[in-house]
Amino acid sequence: MKNKTKNPRLVIFIVWLVLIALLTTAVILLLPPGEKHETIKEVMRDGVLHEDNKMSFFSLQVNPGVISAYTVTAILLLTAVIIRIFIIPRFKTVPGKIQAVLEWMVEFFRGMARQNSHHRSGFVGAYIFCAGIYIFFSTLFELFGFQWTTTAGHAMTLPAPLSDINAAIAMGVMSYSIILGAGLICGGIRGGLGVLKDFSLPISMSFRLFGALLSGLLVTELVYYYVTLSFVLPVVVGVMFTLLHAAIQTYVLATLVSIFYGEAVEPKAPREKKTKKKNKATE
Amino acid sequence: MNLPLNIDLLQILLHMLNFVILAGGLYLLLYSPICKFIDGRQKAFEEAEERNRLTEEENLRLKNEYLLKISSAEAEIAEKKKAAEKEWADTSAAYIREAREKADAIIRAAETEAEDRKEHILESVQTELGELVIGAAHKLVSDTVTPERDCALYDEFIRLADEKLAEEKASHRKTDHKA
């Protein structure tokens, strides 16, 4: 009997809440759009080129991506310090949930390095771990919508660092430098020349990253530009697309770097001509 | 330097610096300690596996040794059993032989003793019989013999003896006459 008397009250309460939510949404949707200081074209162009909205970084005029990158680094390093101090010393033989996630992250990149670079995988494992963590979390960074003031005085949401072409180029060049360095160290001049043949690698790496991240940024910018779309769609578009291309780009860059690194450090077979000459000489 | 797409070398370097800082920090704070822990655990597991393998081998060796000992012990037991049976059979045969010898000796002794006793009994019986006969005869004779009868008998005997002698003398004379 008591249940029967309680249920109608609960239903009335839920209906009341739904009504409030619906009316609030309707009011917000019917509000006139806020004053825009940029057109959608300008927003998209700035999203790609970052020509207008500059930010100050130690008195330097930089793209928002630089601020985002250093913010992400600060957050990641702070998290790493907390993990190092509070979690890693409590690691157990049978891992708990957090330990399992951390071990999985390390083992994923280390395993990928071992799989693609059979001969020397120690350094590349560490590199793709750091690069992977950076790409993944810096891409997710745009979801949080941290605000920063531009030099023009406008508030601006910090974008993903890699949506700045300079960050993408930096990643591509660093990855290529590591591959080239490994080729030179392990294979000498011949190994270095082998890597130099793939001179398009840094360009492809950089622009792949930039294009993938930029596409996410543009979609998000487009969605957020229109107020009416930003109530429902960002949840799906923002989170899903960002998560998806964060994971994909992390995986792609880590795989490419480990494969090219593996090829660079692979021991080269002796040249046939020399061996033929030697054989003739011995005959 | 004005490059297309707003590419700026300074900003590229800033991004590189940022990544180098991050990579160093992440390597020192996360990657290296976690790798060390995982490797240590894996090494511990490998050592445990190796220990288990050695223990298993040792157990297998002990089992084989045990089986070998059991089989050799069984063979030894069978051999000892056989030897014991043989010894028992020999001992029992010796006992039987000794018992038979003893029995034969006893029988022989008994027979000898019985023979001796028989002879002795016979002797004593003969003596006793003689005594009894004599006794009986004495008793018999004592009832009929008196001094007068003895004298009459002696007289009769002498008379008969004289007659016998006279007859023999007469027969001798006749034979002499004939000759």
pTM: 0.65
B66 and B111 in a single domain? The answer is: yes
ipTM, two decimals, is 0.77
Question: What spatial distance separates the first Cα and last Cα of chain A, rounded to whole Å?
Answer: 107
Shared domain for B117 and B59, answered yes or no, is yes
Say what the pLDDT of residue A193 is.
74
Distance from CA of A266 to the nearest CA of B (A): 24
Inter-chain touch B12–A107, beta carbons under 8 Å: no
Residue pairs between chains A and B whose CB atoms are closer than 8 Å? 117
Q: What is the pLDDT of residues B38-86, one digit of tens each?
A: 999 999 999 999 999 999 999 999 999 999 999 998 999 899 999 999 9
Tell me how far CA of residue A56 lies from CA of A60, A62, A158, A164, B155, in angstroms. Answer: 5, 6, 13, 16, 201
Residue-wise pLDDT for A145-199, tens only, equals: 788 888 888 888 888 888 888 888 898 889 888 888 888 888 777 776 777 777 7
Nearest to A69 among B15, B23, B33 (CB): B15
Contacting residues of A for B47, CB less than 8 Å apart: none
Same domain for B174 and B89:
no
Which residues of chain A register pLDDT less than 70?
1-6, 28-38, 46-51, 192, 217, 220-221, 223-238, 268-283
Locate A232 and state its tokens: 């429902």
Q: Which of A57, A76, A166 sits opposite B12 (nearest CB)?
A: A166
The one-letter amino acid code at B133 reads V
Report which of A256, A226, A253, A248 is spatially closest to residue A140, judged by C-alpha positions: A248
The label of the residue with tokens 């022989």 reads: B108
Do B45 and B77 belong together in one domain? yes
| Number of domains present in the structure of chain B | 2
Domain ranges, ordered by start, for chain A: 54-268
Give the contacts of A180 (CB within 8 A, at least 6 positions apart): A192, A195, A196, A264
Domain presence at residue B178? yes
Test A60 with B12 for CB contact under 8 angstroms: no
* Same structural domain, B60 and B130: yes
Residue B1 belongs to some domain of the structure? no
The reply to whether residue A62 touches residue B11, judged by beta carbons under 8 angstroms, is yes
Range of the domain at B164: 145-179
- Whether B18 shows a pLDDT value over 70: the answer reads yes
